[in-house]
Structure 1
Amino acid sequence: MNYQAFATLYDHLMAEAPYDEWVAFTKRSLGVDSLQGLSVLDVGCGTGELLIRLLQEGADVTGVDLSSEMLVVARDKCAAIKKQPLLLHQDMRNLEELGQFDIVTIYCDSLNYLETPEDVMVTFASVYNQLPEGGLLLFDVHSTTKVEEGFIGQTFADADDEVSYIWHSFAGEHEASVEHELTFFVQDDNGSYNRYDELHKQRTYSISDYTSWLEGAGFTVEGISSDFNENPPTDESERIFFVARKK
């Protein structure tokens, strides 16, 4: 599938994503009512939906994504609201020296697209270099429960006049890993439907694993919560949030 096409379909798939809640989590983690004047590196910024909200909160935001096609969509969205943030095509595992940011965010389970524990550890080390002493890394991941019980063996579907999709999820090759098989049907200008297929793989780990890897990279874990609230994770939690500070 042409990834430019999927970049556009991604927004349709994520239409109900709680972007405002990620912004609220960010402000709550910093203990502020506004992000005015703060510098943010948004890693895995995708098509820019969250990035735009951070800009509108007054933050100075730089966006990074592995997909140049996603970044094209993000750039167009920013231009539409007369914003021109720096958007960079980079791999989170090997970020260039981009400067020093008050905050690095890796939201919307972007870390779960990394394939191995080594990839996660290298990413934490890469992010560490973008922060001054005391800078914060904020991220969320799927819980093992979400992957093993909420995704594996499940089928999701949605249909409307312009875009319809069927989404099958099945077990990956590793523990707490999942493969998402997505089929989209997109209406063209002639009223016909074109089919597009995508396969996405995700993998998650235990809270203790993430904590150990963060500490190994030089971070202090200041907070672990779940599902966009301040409650500690339970066996039923679906999304785990981490607040880590550079020592």
Structure 2
Amino acid sequence: MYNRLASYYDDLVQDDEATQAWVSWIESYTAPGPFLELACGSGEITRRLAQDGFDVTALDLSPEMISRAAQKCSNVRFLCQDMTRLENLPTYPAIGCFCDSFNYLIEPEEVQAFFHQVHDHLKTDGLFLFDTHALDRLTEFQNEWNETGRFTDGTDYQWSIESEDDWIYQDFAFYLPDGQTMQEHHLQRVYQPEDLSEWAAPWFDLVDVRTDFDQKGIVPGEKYFYVLRRKNI
């Protein structure tokens, strides 16, 4: 996942203002110190946190994403690792999972096991910060969304997003100047907020939930932002 896309990822999605909003949200709940970032992607949030004094360990399943992220951050420990397999890692005062990476957990059992894993890798009263697609995204993409363009190396691309029931399908096609075509297909699942609350409850207390950073609670929008505190059980 994201292997072919890695070389073009920043060109497609980089948004400095949005990245700073994520970092400001994170820093409103946790001070610089050890921090574990799950599914770090190309390392934009990672880089900002490291610049602000966080001691970041960042992992991603894609070797190509890790390679790109490592080029941006010399003072971060990077791991090519599944975010659902944390057994080899220590505990942290805070863990984060950003940019709708949570929605790649496509079965309720995966979500519940993930909450358990994160709980077990947080220190006493540690915080778990993450975001998910809002329910409104399912309505937004009922009619297929498409974007086409060309990168500076002459590669043309098409990016499409479509939803069905609880699912969001993303398809990427890259048409290289030498005639090759590369494709990636991504599947995400959008969960009801009340289900997430139920599945997190054995391991966490809810500190805060917002919509699109600045709206309190679950209201119409694009993303929900959760802050959970580890239960000391």
The answer to whether the 8 Å contact 1:155/1:166 transfers is: no
Tell me the CA shift for residue 97 of structure 1: 3.7
Percent identical across equivalent pairs?
31
Indicate the residue corresponding to 1:201 in structure 2.
187
Under a length normalisation based on structure 2, what TM-score does the superposition of the two structures give? 0.90
Over 3 Å counting, the alpha-carbon distance change for 1:2 and 1:26 in structure 2 is closer
Indicate the residue corresponding to 2:206 in structure 1.
221
The answer to whether the 8 Å contact 1:153/1:168 transfers is: no
**What secondary structure sits across from 2:53 in the alignment?**
coil
Over 3 Å counting, the alpha-carbon distance change for 1:72 and 1:225 in structure 2 is same
Question: Distance in 2 between the 1:24 and 1:68 partners?
Answer: 28
Indicate the residue corresponding to 1:11 in structure 2.
10
**What secondary structure sits across from 2:218 in the alignment?**
coil
**1:27 matches 2:27:** yes
Question: Distance in 2 between the 1:225 and 1:152 partners?
Answer: 24
Note the alpha carbon deviations across 1:37-78, whole angstroms, 9 max, x for none. x11100010111110111011000000111122111111222
Tell me the CA shift for residue 2 of structure 1: 8.8
Indicate the residue corresponding to 2:146 in structure 1.
156
**1:212 matches 2:211:** no
Give the structure with the higher percent strand: 2
2:125 corresponds, among 134, 141, 162, to 134
Tell me the CA shift for residue 193 of structure 1: 5.7
Note the alpha carbon deviations across 1:136-159, whole angstroms, 9 max, x for none. 00000001211x122232222142
Q: Over aligned residue pairs, what C-alpha RMSD do you find? A: 2.0
The answer to whether the 8 Å contact 1:97/1:129 transfers is: no
**1:245 matches 2:229:** yes
* Structure 1 residues 105-124: aligned runs within 5 Å: 105-124=96-115
* Structure 1 residues 171-190: aligned runs within 5 Å: 171-172=163-164, 175-187=165-177
Structure 1 unpaired stretches of 5+: none
Letter in 1 for 2:193: I
Tell me the CA shift for residue 197 of structure 1: 1.3
* Segment of structure 1 superposing worse, 177-186 or 118-127: 177-186
The answer to whether the 8 Å contact 2:91/2:121 transfers is: yes
Under a length normalisation based on structure 1, what TM-score does the superposition of the two structures give? 0.85
Letter in 2 for 1:8: S
Letter in 1 for 2:83: M
The answer to whether the 8 Å contact 1:7/1:69 transfers is: yes
Indicate the residue corresponding to 1:76 in structure 2.
71
Tell me the CA shift for residue 171 of structure 1: 3.4
The answer to whether the 8 Å contact 2:2/2:65 transfers is: no
